[in-house]
Structure 1
Amino acid sequence: MTVQKKPQRLQSLDALRGFDMFFIMGGGPLFIALATLFPTPFFQAIAQQMQHVEWHGLSFEDMIFPLFLFIAGISFPFSLEKQRASGMTDSAIYKKIIRRGITLVILGLVYGGILSLDFENQRYASVLGRIGLAWMFAAILFVNTRTITRVWITAGILIGYWLLLAFVPAPDGNGADVFSMEGCLVGYVDRIMLPGHLYLKIHDPEGILSTVPAIATALLGMFTGEFIKLQKKEFTETKKVLYLLVVGLILVVSGVIWNLFFPINKNLWTSSFVCTVGGISMILFALFYYIIDVKGFRGWTLFFTVIGMNSITIYLAQRFINFSFTANSIFGGITKLLPETAQPLMGAVTYIAICWGFLYFLYRQRIFLKV
C-alpha cells in the first residue's frame, strides 16, 4: 500500500502575505511618518517608495497588489494537490475555482459601495475583482494544461498584449501616445464597456483589458508553487531557492529591457511590469522560503503571519471599521503630548497596533475568512 505524502503548508507564504498586507494596513504611512520625524535622504527615499508612480515607472507601492496575486498563485498547486488527494472530482474543483473568483468579484463590488445602490457612480472594477478573475482563469489553465503549455500561454499573453497596445491605438485618442492614458486601447475599452465610475475618470487601473496580463502574474506564481512542490532528488531545497533567485533576476532584467519598448506601468499592467514585479516577487518568496521553511527560522514571523492568515479580512475591515477612531480614542491624548513632528509616527504606530490586535484576536480564536 502506498502512503500519500501530506501536502506541506508553506509557513513562508503566510509570512510573505502578511509582509505584503502590512503596507496596506498602515506600513506606508509609518515610513512616511518616519521621514517626517527624521528628514534624512535615507528615510525620504523610503517614503517616496510608499507612493504610487503617476503613470510610467515603478515604486514599492506598485509592488503590493501584484505580489499578493503572485502569492495567491503560489498556493494553488498545493491546494489543488490537497483537493485531489481528498478525492474531489474535476467538476467539484472547477466549481470551487469559479466560486472563489466570483466571490472575490462580489466582495470587490461591496468594497466599492454597491450596497448604496448608487449605480451611476459605482466603480465596478476593483482590486479584489482583478485578483478573483486573474486567479480564476490562471487556475483553470493550470488544471487543464501541462507546464510547458502554460509557459507558451504566458509568453503569448505577454507578447500579444504588447503588440495589441503598440499597434492598436484608442479610436478616440486623437493621436496621443499609444501608451498614454488618453491614447491607450486599455482606457478606451474601459470607457465603452465599464458602466459607472472609472477610478481615473477616463481609465481604470483594474479595468477589463488589463486583467488579461494579470493572468500571467498569477501563472508566474503557480509556476513557482509547482517548482517548490517538486520531489526530485536533484532539486534540494537550497537548489530550488537558488534557481528561483536566478529566474527572478532574469525576469527583472527582462522587464527592465522590455521597458525600453513597452514602459513599466502598473495602471496598464504592461508586460514589462509583469516581468519586473514577477521577478521581484519570486526573489522575495525565495528569501522568505529559505529563511522560514528551509532553515526553520520562524520565531520572528508571528507578527506577519497573523496578518497574512486574515489578509482579505483586514483589507475589507479597514473599509467598514473605523480603526482610526479607536486608535485616537485610546492613544489620542498621549499623541497630543508629543512634538508635532512625532505625532504622525505615533498615529501610524497606534493604528497598526489596533489593526493587528483585531487580527490577533481572530487568530487566537482560529477565525479566518477564507474565500
Structure 2
Amino acid sequence: MAERSATLVSTEAASTTIKAPSSRVLSVDVLRGITIAFMILVNDAGDGKHVYTQLEHSAWNGWTLTDLVFPTFLFIVGVSIILSIHSRLQRGASRRDLAIHTVRRAVTIFVVAMLINLVPFFQFSHLRIYGVLSRIALCYLIAGLICLVTQKASHLLTITAVMLVSYWVLMRFVPVPGLGVPTHDIPLLDPDRNLAAWLDRGIMGWFQQHLHTGRLYEVTRDPEGLLSTIPAIGTTLLGSVAALWLRRAGGKAPSITKSQCAIGLLLAGLLAIGAGMVWDIWFPINKKLWTSSYVLFAAGCALVGLAACYWLIDIKRFHETKFGKIATWPWLVFGSNAIVAYVVAAILEKTLFLIHTSAIGPDGKVETAWRWIYWHVFASHGSTEMTSAMFAVCFVLVCFIPNIILWQKKIMVKL
C-alpha cells in the first residue's frame, strides 16, 4: 500500500472568502493545496503496473515530478513554522509556550502515523516506525526548535549547510561496517550497501530483538530512515529561510517590495537548482537517500513554485478575478484542512484494500474493493496508464468532498 504524506504541520486555514488575513501569505496556502492534491494523486494510481513515468518515483538515482512532492511538503512546513511563530509571538505567546506547542504537535503527528499503520489489526510485530509522517514529525520538531532559538537567515543557512556537507561526508567517506569504503570497496550510493541502509537495518534489528516490532519499507532499507532525516531537516529549514524573505515584503513597514520578493524567490530557486545539478556529479540526486544534491534541487523547484504562486496571487491578485476565484478555490479548500485530506485518503485507501469481494480479477486473484472498482469501472477494456491515472483523479475528487463540507461550514481542523 502506498505510503502517504500530507502537510499536517500547517498554519491556520485560509478564510472562506479567499482573502487572507494580513498575517498570512495566501500564495503559501495555494501551494500547500496543490501539493496535497498531487500527493493523493501520485499515491493512488488504479494499477501500480501502469503508471505514467512522472507519476511514480525514480527507481534510484535521478528524479521525476513525484520525487518533488515530499520535499515540497517539508519546505512548506518550514515556511509555516516561521509564519506561525511570528503570528503567535505577536499574540503574546512566549517562546516557552511555543516550544511546548512544537513538541506536542510533533508527538501528535507521530502518534497519528502509528495509529494509521496499526488500524485495524494492530499487528505490532509489523509496525513500520519510519515513514512519511514520522519524518514530518521529526523534521517539524527539530526545525521548529531551531527557529525558536534563532530566526536569522544566515544562521539557518549555516546550519543547513553543515547538515548537507556532514551527510555527504558520512555517505561518501565513512566505511560501511563489514562492507568497505564507498567508491573504493563498494559503489557510491549502492542501494543496500550504504551507511544509511546499514544503520536502519541495525536499528530495526534492535527493535525486533528487544521490542518485537519494527520493519523496513523496502525490507533491506527504508526511504524515510534515520540518517537521511538529517538532510530532510535541511529541506525544512530552507523553507523557513524563504518565509523570512516573505516577511520582509509584508507587514506595515516592508523592507522590500513584493516584486523584489518574487524575483528573490525565483533567483534563489534557480541558484539552488543549479547547485543541486552540479553537486549531482559527485553526490547523485536520490530521493530515497535524500542526498544533499537532492535537497538543493528539490528546494529550488519549491522556491520557483512559490515565486510563481506569489507573483500570481500576492502581486497580480489573480484570485480576485472571476476566473481566478474558480481556479484558486480548490487549492485553498485542500490546503485549509490538510489533516482531513490526509485522513480521508488514508482511511479510504485502506478500507478499499481490506474489503474483499467474491469476484476473480484478470490475474486470477480474488478482487479487493479497490481492484473491483478499478477493473469494472475504469479498466473494463484493459488497464493502461490513462485508466490508472483517471482512477487516481477520481480518488482525489472523492477525498475533496469532506473538505468542501468543512470549508462551507467554516470548520478548520487542527492538530
Normalised by the size of structure 1, how large is the TM-score? Answer: 0.87
Which letter maps to 1:171? P
Distance in 1, matches of 2:104 and 2:31, equals 25
Written as runs of structure 1 = structure 2, the 5 A alignment for 1:234-313 is 235-298=256-319, 299=325, 300-313=327-340
* Residue number among 242, 253, 262 corresponding to 1:224 in the alignment: 242
Distance 1:10 1:339, change over 3 A: same
Q: Deviations over 1:109-136 (max 9, x none)?
A: 1222277332221110010110111121
Distance 1:228 1:56, change over 3 A: same
Which letter maps to 1:17? R
What residue number does 1:359 align with? Answer: 403
Distance 1:268 1:356, change over 3 A: same
Distance in 2, matches of 1:277 and 1:132, equals 20
Contact 2:23–2:87 (CA under 8 A) maintained in structure 1: no
Contact 1:56–1:265 (CA under 8 A) maintained in structure 2: yes
Residues 1:19 and 2:41 aligned together: no
Which letter maps to 1:118? Q
Paired residues, what number? 355
Distance 1:152 1:284, change over 3 A: same
What residue number does 2:219 align with? Answer: 201
Written as runs of structure 1 = structure 2, the 5 A alignment for 1:1-371 is 8-26=23-41, 47-113=52-118, 116-145=121-150, 146-173=152-179, 175-194=185-204, 195=207, 196-231=214-249, 235-298=256-319, 299=325, 300-321=327-348, 344=388, 346-371=390-415
Distance 1:162 1:343, change over 3 A: closer
Q: What secondary structure does 1:301 align onto?
A: helix
Distance in 2, matches of 1:28 and 1:201, equals 20
Name structure 1 gaps, 5 residues minimum.
Answer: 1-5, 37-43
Which letter maps to 1:197? R
Instruction: Give the drift of 1:200.
Output: 1.0
Distance 1:181 1:27, change over 3 A: closer
Distance 1:169 1:56, change over 3 A: farther
Stretch moving more, 252-261 or 356-365: 356-365
Which letter maps to 1:55? W
Which letter maps to 1:67? T
Distance in 2, matches of 1:224 and 1:305, equals 20
The percentage of aligned residue pairs carrying the same residue is 30
Distance 1:218 1:171, change over 3 A: same
Contact 1:70–1:221 (CA under 8 A) maintained in structure 2: yes
Contact 2:340–2:402 (CA under 8 A) maintained in structure 1: no
Structure with greater proportional helix content: 1
Which letter maps to 1:266? K
What residue number does 1:40 align with? Answer: none
Q: What secondary structure does 1:87 align onto?
A: coil
Normalised by the size of structure 2, how large is the TM-score? Answer: 0.78
Cα RMSD for the two superposed structures: 2.9
Which letter maps to 2:311? Y
Instruction: Give the drift of 1:53.
Output: 0.6
Q: Deviations over 1:249-290 (max 9, x none)?
A: 010000000001111111111100000000000110110111
